[in-house]
Amino acid sequence: MRRRLPISTSQEEMEKSNGKPHRSRLCLLASLSVLFWLLIFYFHFAVLSSGPPQQSVQAVAFPSTSLQEEEHLSHRKNPVGGLLPPPRETVKEEIFPFVRALRTASNRTDPCGGRYIYVYDLPSRFNDLMLRDCRKLSLWTNMCKFMSNSGLGPPLENVEGVFSNTGWYATNQFAVDVIFNNRMKQYECLTKDSSLAAAVFVPFYAGFDIARYLWGYNISVRDAASLDLVNWLMKRPEWKVMGGKDHFLVAGRITWDFRRLTDTDSDWGNKLLFLPAAKNMSMLVVESSPWNANDFGIPYPTYFHPARDSDVFQWQDRMRKLERKWLFSFAGAPRPDNPKSIRGQIIEQCKASPVCKLLECDFGESKCHSPSSIMQMFQSSLFCLQPQGDSYTRRSAFDSMLAGCIPVFFHPGSAYTQYTWHLPRNYTKYSVFIPEDGIRKNNVNIEETLKQIPSEVVKVMREEVISLIPGIIYADPRSKLETLKDAFDVAVQAVIKKVTKLRKDIIEGREDKDFIEENSWKYNLLEEGQHKVGPHEWDPFFSKPKDSNGDSGSSVSESAMNSWKNEQRDHT
């Protein structure tokens, strides 16, 4: 028998046999190792680290999470050892820098949770310096006296007993810039930590800025402060969080002063609201555009600025008890240069009616310039006629409601599509609507129309108007109402709600791709939960006016210019 040789494992014997069995084994192990690590890397990067496709796009658009939030995530421990991957919902939220602000709303121990406002400390050229040079804020009015008392103007004497004893001031109708800014200084939920803010306030006096340069200045001068502001804001870290979509500012002028369409010197206003960056911000104005989405209507200031809740309650009780001897009244001047205006017909109908009180406003001395005369007339009337002014809106609407007088509107743009934050969407609760075409064609008699409303209904409507008073007045900026919400509070709450919804939509990836900005007025009328708009009975009122060149700029600019001309007339 041949004897089997023992297998040798020495290096020398392996080399003699060329090492083939061992090298094959090594290659196999190396291949398996490489495959294993490739699978690990693929699982880590392609599965654990990936989110929905939409998320990756949003992550590029916004900065990453804060260091505090990353530390919070990194300390999520697995009960059996090691780190747990964060839940998918947490990963989705943590990439957005505004999540911390959203979470404050769920903190029940924080009375300001979800309500914090961050206010920029702007260079004084954007606000205070304008007030120091207040004589230049209007060509025809010494605005310096109206800047007294935190923007309320000089106190009104109650010689005729029309007002209450305190809280009444000769407030200029375009003073909202400074009134709102001073009210913001008293806001109870201000924060210096912008990461907590539900919204960011920009205290730029946009209305006062444009008032200085509307007449006799070229577009470079008119646009200078707006461009300067936008450039300043875009360099701020707070701006980068949402590209300005959580920012808001206030202007006490109508929107058309800020919507110049061309760079021709003869065109009206500046282009603040058409600047790409400013389109992201929300601008609160006393009259907004029905066709644009970046402005929102807030009330004109009235003469009443209470310091306490009791001042408001006493005034409301007084308005309830008044005897009103006039069925309806009108304070205003005709517009003979405007063929579309129905003021001439309204004045004629009032003159012809034994139950109408008329205050005709014209050049020179007029009771229309007397707050006491205006308020006395409104207090003695059941209904107050509020046709369009030079533009859609007029301060008179708010003065009349303050007096407990039921407003009669002739165009939905005068209130219904403007002040959706402050007035009920169901306009029949507090007002009467008479389409202006009926007046223009002499098909409607105002006296007969109003007499057909049952007295019980009138009483309910008047009570509704009186109940709206707190939300349409601006409280004294040097104090604060205890329980009531004034026009400032309502506006700030609405801005916060708007920004909060936008933030949640961004996190969830919701986007209304069917949104049509030219139908903005329709979206403002939607109830909670509604998203679609369609044909509306008011479409004829908002068919966008076109000039011979196919744009709507000339007509709205003309309205704004006429408004300023009549402001000049009121002070000559």
Domains annotated for the chain, with CATH where assigned, are 98-301+487-530+556-570 (no CATH), 321-471 (3.40.50.2000)
Percent of residues, the chain, with pLDDT higher than 70: 78
Beta bridge partner(s), residue 247: 200
Q: Of the ranges 43-57, 380-394, 495-509, which one carries the lowest mean pLDDT score?
A: 43-57
137-171 pLDDT tens trace: 887 788 899 999 999 999 999 988 999 999 999 99
Q: Is the pLDDT of residue 65 over 80?
A: no
- Give mean pLDDT, residues 95-123: 94
How far is C-alpha 242 from the geometric centre of its chain's CA atoms? 16
**470 token code pair:** 């707190």
Contact 122, 204 (CB under 8 A): yes
Q: What is the dihedral of CA 506, 511, 515, 517, to 10 degrees?
A: 20
pLDDT at position 387, please? Answer: 96
pLDDT range class, residue 562, cuts 50, 70, 90:
low
Can you tell me the distance from the alpha carbon of 336 to that of 212, in angstroms, rounded to the nearest whole number? 28
Q: What are phi and psi for residue 358, nearest 5 degrees?
A: -120, 135
Which of 317, 330, 312 has its CA nearest to residue 473? Answer: 312
Amino acid making up residue 558: E
Which of 394, 377, 370, 398 has its CA nearest to residue 473? Answer: 398
Contact 435, 388 (CB under 8 A): no
Can you tell me the distance from the alpha carbon of 551 to that of 558, in angstroms, rounded to the nearest whole number? 13
Can you tell me the distance from the alpha carbon of 346 to that of 386, in angstroms, rounded to the nearest whole number? 10
- Give mean pLDDT, residues 345-360: 95
Which of 381, 425, 389 has its CA nearest to residue 407? Answer: 381
Can you tell me the distance from the alpha carbon of 467 to that of 424, in angstroms, rounded to the nearest whole number? 11
Beta bridge partner(s), residue 200: 118, 247
**424 token code pair:** 């009920």
260 burial via Cβ count (<10 Å: 0-12, 13-18, 19+):
buried
Can you tell me the distance from the alpha carbon of 204 to that of 210, in angstroms, rounded to the nearest whole number? 11
Q: Of the ranges 75-79, 172-176, 345-349, which one carries the lowest mean pLDDT score?
A: 75-79
Q: Of the ranges 14-28, 244-258, 482-496, which one carries the lowest mean pLDDT score?
A: 14-28
Amino acid making up residue 416: Y
Separation in Å, CA 135 to CA 129, 217, 229, 565 = 12, 17, 23, 18
Instruction: Answer with the residue of higher pLDDT: 15 or 251.
Output: 251
501-521 pLDDT tens trace: 999 999 998 888 888 999 999
Instruction: Answer with the residue of higher pLDDT: 62 or 502.
Output: 502
Beta bridge partner(s), residue 282: 248
The count of other CB atoms within 10 Å of the CB of residue 303 is 24
Q: What is the DSSP string of 85-145?
A: PPPHHHHHHHTSTTHHHHHGGG-TT-TTTTT-EEE----GGGTHHHHHTGGGS-SSS-TTG
pLDDT at position 556, please? Answer: 60
Which of 62, 12, 209, 14 has its CA nearest to residue 128? Answer: 209
Residues 6+ apart with CB under 8 A from 372: 156, 159, 160, 162, 163
Q: What is the DSSP string of 61-85?
A: HS----HHHHHHHHT-B-TTSSBPP
- Give mean pLDDT, residues 204-228: 94
How far is C-alpha 316 from the geometric centre of its chain's CA atoms? 28
Ramachandran class of 499: left when φ > 0, alpha when ψ lies in -120 to 50, beta otherwise: alpha
Beta bridge partner(s), residue 409: 386, 433
Q: What is the DSSP string of 206-275?
A: HHHHHHHHSSS--HHHHHHHHHHHHHHHHTSHHHHHHTTTTEEEEEEEEGGGG---SS-TTS-S--GGGS
Residue 328 parent element (H or E): strand 326-332
pLDDT at position 390, please? Answer: 84
Q: Of the ranges 45-54, 61-70, 106-115, 414-423, which one carries the lowest mean pLDDT score?
A: 61-70
pTM to 2 decimal places = 0.82
The count of other CB atoms within 10 Å of the CB of residue 483 is 7
pLDDT at position 51, please? Answer: 41
Q: Is the pLDDT of residue 376 over 50?
A: yes
Instruction: Answer with the residue of higher pLDDT: 504 or 362.
Output: 504
Residues 6+ apart with CB under 8 A from 137: 130, 143, 208, 211, 212
pLDDT at position 48, please? Answer: 43
Can you tell me the distance from the alpha carbon of 558 to that of 179, in angstroms, rounded to the nearest whole number? 28
Q: What is the dihedral of CA 212, 215, 218, 222, to 10 degrees?
A: 30
308 burial via Cβ count (<10 Å: 0-12, 13-18, 19+):
middle
Q: Of the ranges 9-13, 139-143, 203-207, which one carries the lowest mean pLDDT score?
A: 9-13
pLDDT at position 340, please? Answer: 86
Contact 127, 232 (CB under 8 A): no
Amino acid making up residue 59: A
**155 token code pair:** 């106190």
Q: Is the pLDDT of residue 345 over 60?
A: yes
Amino acid making up residue 548: S
